[in-house]
Amino acid sequence: MSDYRLLINGELVPGDATMDVINPANERVLASCPRASTAQLNSAVAAAKAAFPAWSARPIGERKQVVNAIADVIQANANELAQLLTQEQGKPLGDAIGEIYGTAAFFRYFTSLDLPVEVIDENDARRVEAHRRPLGVVGAIVPWNFPMILMAFKIPPALVAGNTVVLKPAPTTPLTNLRLGELIRDVVPAGVLNIITDVNDLGAALTAHPDVRKVSFTGSTATGSKVMAGAAGLLKRITLELGGNDAGIVLDDVDPAETAPKLFQSAFQNSGQVCIAMKRLYVHESIYDEMCEALAAIAERTIVGDGLQQGTQLGPLQNRMQYERVKELLEDAKQHGKVIAGGTGLDQPGYFIRPTIVRDITDGTRLVDEEQFGPVLPVIKFKDPEDAVARANASPWGLGGSIWSANPARAYALAEKLDAGTVWVNKHAELDPRIPFGGAKQSGLGTELGEEGLKEFTQLKIINIAR
């Protein structure tokens, strides 16, 4: 596909301008795609607003049928969508296929949920009911690291709940979302789902639009604070899934050889471009050297390259801005720690950085204190587990974290003390559509996934009846 269009009110339309999308594996233009204007944004919101009364009045079972039909389309076109996803995002094709099938599964999950009337109290004097009503137009803003699966955190619960949506993908990864819009054009009623693109210049207008009742945003903490400010004027609902600097804490009873591959995967999946990736690793001093050596060995044998090439395990960074930022953090880390694997790019075009392990580094350095969002892992030595937890908690972020131990009870006791939205024991970064997900501190506001995630797209309405 090379002819991309916006989806506004059931019509595939060109943008009022165009923009280039770069393949991060070779730095060449992959496609020219539409760029929406403010007028087109307003048209998309108007279409969603006009479609809301009929869509919200449909029985929830009919709305679920439409959401399931979208999942059918995604699954039927999985190979095409995955190829496109790899080319615009950079991830290996196998990972892209997994993301596409996961997207379909997330859509289907939300069709398994209902929003029944709950009776809070019933007696001779009164009956009190809790109803869940749709909000109206939802603005959904998704980032570039997982353009499809993170879209599936937002679109299916919004639609099942009876809302209509304006979706805005990231400007560096808009193509898979646009292609999906074309594929489902005849599946979704006109105006119920609209897809527009920009160069990061329409987010503020979408967030502050008076006809948008809720904004669901996934991205950086800095941008999330702007979304919150933009929504404040009208007190509209917001869900923010923001940055993280997840810590893994490895206790002294862990077998480094057995655990290192799991830690490596937790840190380097999608070249570290995962909000809940393990971004700093605290290892007990008694096994520190052995663990560093095991991680370095894995890093050195990992195959980095174009995601379309067979055998590639890690692709490039998704865009030049992120690539330059990670290189900057890496250069700073070389002044404060020791690089024992990686630390270089590839001798070819593309935003490649080999998986990098940095040891003999500690808190107070940029690589440890900041979110790198790339394939560079600092490994920090500790002696006292309580001190490691305190250091992990000192971060302004609190998205996730993990404790690793041969003694689950010992790990659980420390997990209770980690200040994060999700804490894993002997694993990290597991997401399941049935399990609520959200961040603590500056890592976010509100909840996605699970029944709680569905309810985030509703207004609680109490009906209190005298008898």
The crossing angle, in degrees rounded to 10, of helices 385-393 and 408-415 is 40
- Active-site residue among 99, 241, 448, 456? 241
Report d(CA 71, CA 400) in Å as an integer. 29
Residue 292: active-site member = no
Neighbours of 30 (CB within 10 A): 17
CA distances from residue 148 to 317, 399, 411 in whole angstroms, order as listed: 17, 20, 34
Cα distance between residue 400 and residue 191, in whole Å? 36
Closest CA to 259 of 287, 279, 285, 280: 287
3-state secondary structure 310-326: CCCCECCCCCHHHHHHH
Cα dihedral 162, 166, 169, 171 in deg (nearest 10): 180
Catalytic residue among 88, 99, 275, 456: 275
Burial of 13 (C-beta count, 10 Å sphere; 0-12/13-18/19+): middle
Instruction: Give yes or no: 11 in active site.
Output: no
How far is residue 26's CA from residue 90's CA, in Å, rounded to a whole number?
10
Q: How far apart are CA 54 and CA 40, in angstroms?
A: 22
Question: Which residues are part of the catalytic machinery?
Answer: 241, 275
